[in-house]
């Protein structure tokens, strides 16, 4: 709904301007304008149902799918009306792709699911059934809330080497230091240590599903993330009550320090806190992680006011799945989160950091006098932010403004923020720059300051320089770097990397062959190689990442060193963002990049790799060889948590015919084993009919044990003729007939020729008749060629003959056509035994049934040796003139075969009927006339005038 509301806001000015300029409307335009007003009124009413007091009642009484469809129809109707009015630009705002609509809906559905879950937890018995129905509705829309998950807790998969499991008895509690909605925080220590720790205890009985997911995230990310700017993780428990133990930060939260003891935070300390938190966020983003809840409450201080980021319950990795809206605290929340935008990225943290900087600057609570709904309107609609003090340093004010830009594209990266916060121009007024440089660990190099926080610990202490090194020049440095490993080369490398912190100097080094030297060192996979990669991690100059450097980094896909391999991947991920336009023109890069996936790596690295691969696959113009192979391996072997990132890559890849040709039948079988998780991939594959030959057998086999797959076949066999034909080619299903009836009903819409050659077809028809769907079954049977060997061994002959006794005229007609089709080719005893009933209908009052009865009589008579044909001859003489081909042909055949061999019929009456009902010449009439002329030579005709008329008819017919 938020997306639709935003679209309405976008078109208001366009419509207003149009109305002012428009002098008059024609009838069609008036109708369109009226339709728009009606739809807006309906949408307003729908919105009113989703407001505060009535929202719960609305959720419990209204199918979610109906609401979703109503919003979709609103968009469509508005678009059509706007197009009629000639407002194409406005109409475009109302248009939304199926994928974007599904993503936006998924965000809304998740939020609805959370509300329903909370109601469920409150045990409101009177609403229990309705809540269950809404959960079922969410399931149908692809949002899953497993009831078992509400009562169980599973820690995410954590590498064994990183697990920090503890027992409850290991913890000693001292005092309570904080309380929250999901638990309590205590000061304590481990039994075997006197070091203070913070112990967060979550009560199992009060955990909601959201709390469970928060706990999972926090444990997982605390385990795998490690940085000086993040709180250190000490351990967790697997059993209730659940404990999370972290280092104790004695200074408390920055939020409380700013409000209770602001005098303890001088400008230098505040500038250092800003840089420290920025470095922490830069580290998270480099790992593909988004914090989503950065605020002063989640920044803790030690005794010396050193800051660390805490609370990882809201953390998410960057991926292609729609995010949940309204995650975090509204005061620090980015506009795209407030508007429940399905896809956002780490730039929401940059926005929060802008608010955080404002807090450090002012010491105040942002939007302190506003309610949550007021903040949302102020941020999203008015685009207003907290006022920046006039005495704020100009560059710092500019940085804050950039960070909280309305458009995420205008916000800087955290790497850029870190670089600027190291510059004195961006510090708070009054900062002691010497103290700041010392505590921030900024390295001086000539006239350039370069912060290398990630390699500072790894850089050996400088040795006394030789005379040669003291006068080293760029040219000399490049010569050394192109040479074999040595102390001189190492010194030249460190010199070059430090010098290249300045952009002008970097360009000079690039002209001297800097990237060639880097690529040569990278191919060695040595200690110097790691130094180069450390530099590249902080480099933001695209020219450094030329083709040679990228190739050298790709060699690490098979490196035996986890450290080297993971660092090379991190560099490539960073480089890809800088060289994306170039990489779009090199399809082989994505396939080579994906080779990293074959060896173990941290989950966040895998996530970032797959996200980049997805973006590249959707941008390249042709598929590299081997792309499907690596993606399939990833889908079948990577942890399930990465499935939502692998699938978009596969979905994007199948647009290439080369990829579709690479998919083997066994691949489809493997993927169908987890059909439910892969359904979006199968939907995409179905867009290409060149996949059906190998795909359909796998789906049909899967449908035996998977009802969702069977439903998938049912839906597509109705809408897609080529799909239906392919299913027919692969029949039978060979399982419970009751389950496949719906498929067969759809197949009947497309093809009934080959289908009647399969035994299962007759089992389905039999099932329909037994379950009182006789008319439908007969409508199908009368259109197919019934196979004797398959038909007579079923109960159908008996069921069809019994149905005749209690049928209306329409059903009787269908049944008799079935009898006739069978009896024309083979004997069916049950049908032959109905001969007297056929005769009674033939000469009865139900005139509309006489024709099919005639067909059945002459067909059944063939199997009855003593059948009395005397009454049939005049009937055949009458029907030979029929305009119905089947009736006329059957009558002519009867006359030519029976009139000559039968003696006991009235020839005068037969001739009289034949002559009196003549209408026009036809092949059948000529056959009958010739027969009667021959018979009259043998039989005596009492009425001579009939002979004369017959002779005249004969001459006339043969004159044509």
Query: Is the separation of the CB atoms in 910 and 874 below 8 Å?
Result: yes
| pLDDT at residue 61 is higher than 50 | no
| pLDDT at residue 768 is higher than 80 | yes
How buried is 399 (Cβ within 10 angstroms: 0-12 exposed, 13-18 middle, 19+ buried)? buried
* Most trustworthy range by pLDDT among 146-155, 210-219, 662-671: 662-671
Sort residue 732 into left (φ over 0), alpha (ψ -120 to 50) or beta.
Answer: beta
| pLDDT at residue 952 is higher than 90 | yes
At residue 111, the pLDDT reads 55
Nearest to 610 by CA among 573, 659, 660, 555: 573
Q: pLDDT digits over 784-804, tens only?
A: 999 999 999 899 999 999 999
Nearest to 198 by CA among 283, 300, 297, 292: 300
Residues 6+ apart with CB under 8 A from 311: 218, 293, 297, 298
At residue 780, the pLDDT reads 93
Which DSSP helix (H) or strand (E) runs through 759? helix 759-770
Query: Is the separation of the CB atoms in 441 and 453 below 8 Å?
Result: yes
The predicted model gives 931-937 an average pLDDT of: 91
The residues annotated with a catalytic role in the active site are 293
| pLDDT at residue 125 is higher than 50 | no
Query: Is the separation of the CB atoms in 528 and 493 below 8 Å?
Result: yes
* Count of helices and strands (H, E) across the chain: 49, 12
How buried is 468 (Cβ within 10 angstroms: 0-12 exposed, 13-18 middle, 19+ buried)? exposed
Q: pLDDT digits over 373-401, tens only?
A: 888 888 888 889 999 999 999 999 999 99
Query: Is the separation of the CB atoms in 83 and 91 below 8 Å?
Result: yes
**Residue 321 — pLDDT band, cuts 50, 70, 90?**
very low
Residues 6+ apart with CB under 8 A from 944: none
Nearest to 314 by CA among 348, 341, 277, 280: 348
Quickly tell me which residue has 């976008």 as its tokens: 10
| Pairwise CA distance, residues 404 & 821, whole Å | 78
| Pairwise CA distance, residues 186 & 203, whole Å | 13
At residue 99, the pLDDT reads 56
Q: Range(s) for CATH 3.30.200.20 in the chain?
A: 150-247
The predicted model gives 263-271 an average pLDDT of: 94
| Pairwise CA distance, residues 907 & 896, whole Å | 14
Q: pLDDT digits over 738-758, tens only?
A: 999 999 999 999 876 789 999
Q: Give the Å distances, CA to CA, from 329 to 24, 131, 298, 368, 399.
A: 49, 28, 11, 13, 22
Query: Is the separation of the CB atoms in 468 and 418 below 8 Å?
Result: no
* CA dihedral for 820, 824, 825, 829, sign (positive or negative): positive
Tally the residues of the chain: 960
The predicted model gives 397-425 an average pLDDT of: 93
Identify which has the larger pLDDT, 45 or 42: 42
At residue 401, the pLDDT reads 96
Identify which has the larger pLDDT, 841 or 61: 841
| pLDDT at residue 27 is higher than 90 | no
Q: How far apart are the first and last CA of the chain?
A: 76
Q: pLDDT digits over 328-380, tens only?
A: 578 888 888 887 665 678 899 999 999 999 999 999 999 888 888 888 888 88
Instruction: Give me the phi and psi of 244, to 5 degrees please.
Output: -125, 120
Q: What tokens were used for 707?
A: 């009802």
At residue 434, the pLDDT reads 76
What's 517's DSSP letter? H
Nearest to 790 by CA among 758, 765, 743: 758
Q: pLDDT digits over 590-630, tens only?
A: 999 999 999 998 887 888 899 999 999 999 999 999 999 99
The predicted model gives 885-894 an average pLDDT of: 94
**Residue 325 — pLDDT band, cuts 50, 70, 90?**
very low
| Pairwise CA distance, residues 730 & 726, whole Å | 7
Q: What tokens were used for 71?
A: 């919003």
Q: pLDDT digits over 218-243, tens only?
A: 787 777 788 889 998 888 887 778 88
Average of per-residue pLDDT values in the chain? 84
Identify which has the larger pLDDT, 311 or 845: 845
Q: pLDDT digits over 73-95, tens only?
A: 888 888 888 888 888 888 887 87
At residue 358, the pLDDT reads 96
Strand ranges across the sheet with 242-247 = 171-179, 183-190, 196-202, 242-247, 233-236
Identify which has the larger pLDDT, 326 or 130: 130
Would you tell me how many other CB atoms lie within 10 Å of the CB of residue 486? 11
CA angle in degrees (0–180, nearest 5) for 596-599-602: 85
* Rounded percentage of the chain residues whose pLDDT exceeds 70: 82
The predicted model gives 886-893 an average pLDDT of: 95
Q: Range(s) for CATH 1.10.510.10 in the chain?
A: 252-440
Nearest to 725 by CA among 736, 712, 716, 735: 716
| Pairwise CA distance, residues 632 & 619, whole Å | 20
Q: pLDDT digits over 625-659, tens only?
A: 999 999 999 999 999 889 999 999 999 999 999 99
Name the CATH code of domain 252-440 (choices 3.55.10.10, 1.10.40.50, 1.10.510.10, 2.40.30.330): 1.10.510.10
What residue ranges in 890-942 does DSSP mark as E strands?
none
893 assigned binding-site residue: no
Q: What tokens were used for 867?
A: 């059948």
At residue 270, the pLDDT reads 96
Q: What tokens were used for 889?
A: 């042909």
At residue 147, the pLDDT reads 39
Name the CATH code of domain 150-247 (choices 3.20.20.140, 3.30.200.20, 3.40.50.2300, 3.50.50.60): 3.30.200.20
Peptide bond into 241 cis (omega under 30): yes
At residue 129, the pLDDT reads 54
| Pairwise CA distance, residues 900 & 878, whole Å | 17
At residue 470, the pLDDT reads 41
**Residue 468 — pLDDT band, cuts 50, 70, 90?**
very low
The predicted model gives 717-722 an average pLDDT of: 92
Q: Give the Å distances, CA to CA, from 250 to 188, 267, 293, 305, 575.
A: 12, 21, 22, 9, 40
| Pairwise CA distance, residues 575 & 541, whole Å | 9
At residue 532, the pLDDT reads 94
| pLDDT at residue 136 is higher than 80 | no
Q: pLDDT digits over 421-461, tens only?
A: 999 899 999 988 878 887 887 643 333 333 333 333 333 33
| pLDDT at residue 165 is higher than 80 | yes
Query: Is the separation of the CB atoms in 366 and 332 below 8 Å?
Result: yes
At residue 123, the pLDDT reads 46
Would you tell me how many other CB atoms lie within 10 Å of the CB of residue 98? 8
At residue 472, the pLDDT reads 61
Calculate the CA 53 to chain-centre distance: 33
At residue 545, the pLDDT reads 95
At residue 461, the pLDDT reads 38
| Pairwise CA distance, residues 783 & 463, whole Å | 95
- Please compute Rg for the chain using Cα positions: 41
Q: pLDDT digits over 523-549, tens only?
A: 999 999 999 999 998 888 999 999 999
At residue 476, the pLDDT reads 87
Nearest to 743 by CA among 773, 722, 712: 712
**Residue 259 — pLDDT band, cuts 50, 70, 90?**
very high
Q: pLDDT digits over 240-258, tens only?
A: 788 889 999 999 999 999 9
| Pairwise CA distance, residues 899 & 876, whole Å | 10
| Pairwise CA distance, residues 631 & 653, whole Å | 9
């Amino acid at each position: 709904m938020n997306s639709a509301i935003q679209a309405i806001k976008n078109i208001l000015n366009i419509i207003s301007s149009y109305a002012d300029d428009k002098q008059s409307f024609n009838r069609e335009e008036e109708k369109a304008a009226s339709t728009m007003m009606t739809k807006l009124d309906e949408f307003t009413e729908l919105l009113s149902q989703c407001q505060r007091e009535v929202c719960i009642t609305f959720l419990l009484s209204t199918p979610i799918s109906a609401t979703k469809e109503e919003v979709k129809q609103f968009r469509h109707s508005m678009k059509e009306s706007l197009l009629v009015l000639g407002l194409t630009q406005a109409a475009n705002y109302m248009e939304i792709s199926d994928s974007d609509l599904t993503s936006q809906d998924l965000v809304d559905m998740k939020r609805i699911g959370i509300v329903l879950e909370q109601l469920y937890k409150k045990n409101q018995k009177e609403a229990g059934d309705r809540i269950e129905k809404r959960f079922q509705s969410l399931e149908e829309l692809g949002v899953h809330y497993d009831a078992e998950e509400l009562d169980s807790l599973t820690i995410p998969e954590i590498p064994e080497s990183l697990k920090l499991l503890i027992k409850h008895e290991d913890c000693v509690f001292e005092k309570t230091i904080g309380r929250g909605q999901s638990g309590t925080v205590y000061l304590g220590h481990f039994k075997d240590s006197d070091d203070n720790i913070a112990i967060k205890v979550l009560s199992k009985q009060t955990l909601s599903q959201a709390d469970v997911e928060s706990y999972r995230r926090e444990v997982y990310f605390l385990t795998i993330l490690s940085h000086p700017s993040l709180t250190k993780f000490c351990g967790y428990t697997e059993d209730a009550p659940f404990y999370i133990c972290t280092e104790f930060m004695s200074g408390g939260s920055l939020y409380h320090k700013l409000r209770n003891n602001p005098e303890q935070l001088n400008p230098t300390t505040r500038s250092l806190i800003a840089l420290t938190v920025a470095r922490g966020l830069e580290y998270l983003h480099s790992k593909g992680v988004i914090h989503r809840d950065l605020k002063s409450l989640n920044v803790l201080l030690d005794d010396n006011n050193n800051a660390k980021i805490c609370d990882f319950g809201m953390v998410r990795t960057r991926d292609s799945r729609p995010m949940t809206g309204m995650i975090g605290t509204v005061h620090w929340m980015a506009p795209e989160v407030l508007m429940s935008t399905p896809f956002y990225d780490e730039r929401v943290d940059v926005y929060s950091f802008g608010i955080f900087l404002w807090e450090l600057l002012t010491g105040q609570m942002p939007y302190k006098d506003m309610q949550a709904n007021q903040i949302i309107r102020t941020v999203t609609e008015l685009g207003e932010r907290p006022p920046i003090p006039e005495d704020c340093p100009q560059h710092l004010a500019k940085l804050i403004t950039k960070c909280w830009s309305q458009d995420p594209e205008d916000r800087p990266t955290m790497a850029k923020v870190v670089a600027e916060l190291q510059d004195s121009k961006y510090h708070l007024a009054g900062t002691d720059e010497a103290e700041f440089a010392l505590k921030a660990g900024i390295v001086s190099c000539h006239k350039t300051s370069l912060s290398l926080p990630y390699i500072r610990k790894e850089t050996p202490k400088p040795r006394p320089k030789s005379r040669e090194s003291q006068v080293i020049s760029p040219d000399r440095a490049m010569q050394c770097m192109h040479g074999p490993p040595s102390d001189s080369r190492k010194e030249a490398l460190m010199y070059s990397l430090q010098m290249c912190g300045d952009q002008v100097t970097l360009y000079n080094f690039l002209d001297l062959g800097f990237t060639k030297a880097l690529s040569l060192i990278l191919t060695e996979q040595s200690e110097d190689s790691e130094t180069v990669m450390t530099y590249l991690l902080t480099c933001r100059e695209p020219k450094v990442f030329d083709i040679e450097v990228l190739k050298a980094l790709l060699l690490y896909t098979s490196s035996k060193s986890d450290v080297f391999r993971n660092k090379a991947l991190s560099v490539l991920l960073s480089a890809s963002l800088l060289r994306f336009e170039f990489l779009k023109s090199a399809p082989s890069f994505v396939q080579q990049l994906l080779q990293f996936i074959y060896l173990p790596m941290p989950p966040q690295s895998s996530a970032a790799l797959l996200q980049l691969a997805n973006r590249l696959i959707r941008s390249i113009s042709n598929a590299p060889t081997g792309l499907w192979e690596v993606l399939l391996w990833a889908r079948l072997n990577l942890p399930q948590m990465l499935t939502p990132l692998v699938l978009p890559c596969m979905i994007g890849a199948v647009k290439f015919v080369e990829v579709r040709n690479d998919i083997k039948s066994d691949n489809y079988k493997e993927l169908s084993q987890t059909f439910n998780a892969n359904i979006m991939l199968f939907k995409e594959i179905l867009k290409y009919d060149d996949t059906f030959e190998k795909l359909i057998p796998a789906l049909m086999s899967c449908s035996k044990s998977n009802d969702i797959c069977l439903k998938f076949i049912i839906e597509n066999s109705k809408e897609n003729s080529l799909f239906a034909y392919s299913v027919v080619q692969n029949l039978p299903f060979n399982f419970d007939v009751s389950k496949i009836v719906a498929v067969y009903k759809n197949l009947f819409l497309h093809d009934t020729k080959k289908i009647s050659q399969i035994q299962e077809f007759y089992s389905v028809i039999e099932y329909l008749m037994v379950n009182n769907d006789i008319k439908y079954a007969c409508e199908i049977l009368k259109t197919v060629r019934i196979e004797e060997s398959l038909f007579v061994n079923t109960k159908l002959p008996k069921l069809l003959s019994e149905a005749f006794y209690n049928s209306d005229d329409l059903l009787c007609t269908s049944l008799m056509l079935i009898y006739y089709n069978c009896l024309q080719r083979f004997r069916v005893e049950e049908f032959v035994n109905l001969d007297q009933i056929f005769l009674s209908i033939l000469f009865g009052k139900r005139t509309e049934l006489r024709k099919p009865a005639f067909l059945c009589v002459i067909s059944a008579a063939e199997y009855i040796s003593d059948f009395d044909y005397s009454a049939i001859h005049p009937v055949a003489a009458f029907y030979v003139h029929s305009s119905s081909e089947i009736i006329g042909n059957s009558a002519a055949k009867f006359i030519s075969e029976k009139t000559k061999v039968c003696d006991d019929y009235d020839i005068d009456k037969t001739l009289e009927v034949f002559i009196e009902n003549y209408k026009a010449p036809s092949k059948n009439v000529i056959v009958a006339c010739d027969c009667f002329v021959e018979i009259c030579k043998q039989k005596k005709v009492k009425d001579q005038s009939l002979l004369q008329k017959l002779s005249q008819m004969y001459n006339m017919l043969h004159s044509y």
